[in-house]
Amino acid sequence: MRIATLLVSLLVAGSAFAQSYPSRPIRLIVPWPPGQATDIAARMVAQKLQESMGQPFVIDNRPGAGGAIGTELAAKSPADGYTLLAASSGPMSIQPSLQKLPYDPLKDFALLGLISRNPYALVMAPSFPASNPRDFIALVRANPDKYTFASSGTGATAHLFGELFNNEAKIKARHVPYKGSSPALTDIINGQVNYMIETVASVVGHIRAGRLKALGVSTITRAGALPDVPTIAESTDMKDFDVAAWIGYAAPIGTPKEITARISAELQRAMQAKDFRDRMLGAGLDLATAPDDYAAFMRREQDRYAAVIKAANVKAE
């Protein structure tokens, strides 16, 4: 009888705790600089969550080390629901295979929900002599190591997607790493580097302005912001080519389940709002579909990137 009474008391206390949460502002650590895709998506969600949860979401940008600095800070924060992480594929799925980290994405975080699955686009200067992915592959394949491809840095998501594309297309090109996507795209536009696979969110403005042309997108379905650009899968022999970076919200492991369940529910509600969906699409970000098992999703992502890193012999800078 005493045990039953205790269980009922705990359930009532947990329910009351969840109903009173949040009672103060929530800190959202973004391990990237303002204006980057993760930052943009995280801020859009934060605006919707503070409307529905009644407390401000304070954005704390902590860039550096490929997202590892901010991610470590979140991992070591109190697991009380008042510090969350804008999680993304770089520090969570890629970095573990490149270097030793002061956190373990699979053990130190609970993934609360996916926000966006970001398509990438194969882009180049308008003067590049190819008008579709098939012709592009044929040209580069016929000239091994003549052409160059850019990325935002060695081991960055764009670098790995470029290596994966090159490998599956059976082409050989020289990698030119940059410190960020902006200087890389500047040199692509100027024709100093031949091509790049970069987020649609980063290139859509250049494409619309005619500074870049896009031959294909990396996902199995067309990107919402570039509906007229075919997928690489539909326009080449690479019928299963389907890669995208992901963005989500995570909490330090040990955060009470009542709180993580509340945030997860609010996330899903926010993503159903038409104004949110329209803003995401306008920013070049496609909404993600929630996986059945977040832990299994994380393991699959890590395994996939690890295989690309090994095949391309990518080393951390």
pLDDT in tens, 158-217: 899 999 999 999 999 999 998 888 899 999 999 999 999 999 988 999 999 999 999 999
Calculate the alpha carbon distances from 186 to 136, 138, 199 in Å.
Answer: 21, 25, 15
Q: Which of 8-22, 51-65, 298-312 has the lowest mean pLDDT?
A: 8-22
Give the architecture-level CATH label for domain 2-117+245-312.
3-Layer(aba) Sandwich (3.40)
| Kind plus residue range of the DSSP H or E element containing 309 | helix 294-312
Q: How confident is the model over 38-50, as a mean pLDDT? A: 94
Which pLDDT belongs to residue 309?
87
Q: Are 124 and 195 in contact (CB under 8 A)?
A: yes
DSSP character at residue 65:
G
**Ranges in the chain annotated CATH 3.40.190.10:** 119-235
| Kind plus residue range of the DSSP H or E element containing 174 | strand 174-177
Q: How confident is the model over 216-234, as a mean pLDDT? A: 95
Total-model pTM: 0.81
User: How many whole angstroms separate alpha carbon 88 and alpha carbon 93?
Assistant: 8
What rounded mean pLDDT belongs to the chain? 90
User: How many whole angstroms separate alpha carbon 70 and alpha carbon 286?
Assistant: 24
- Read off the pLDDT of residues 260-274 as tens digits, 9 standing for 90 and up: 999 999 999 999 999
**Ranges in the chain annotated CATH 3.40.190.150:** 2-117+245-312
Which pLDDT belongs to residue 10?
44
Tell me which CATH homologous superfamily contains domain 119-235. Periplasmic binding protein-like II (3.40.190.10)
pLDDT tier for residue 5 given thresholds of 50, 70 and 90 = low
Residue with the two structure tokens 């080393």? 315
User: How many whole angstroms separate alpha carbon 21 and alpha carbon 31?
Assistant: 25
User: How many whole angstroms separate alpha carbon 107 and alpha carbon 273?
Assistant: 32
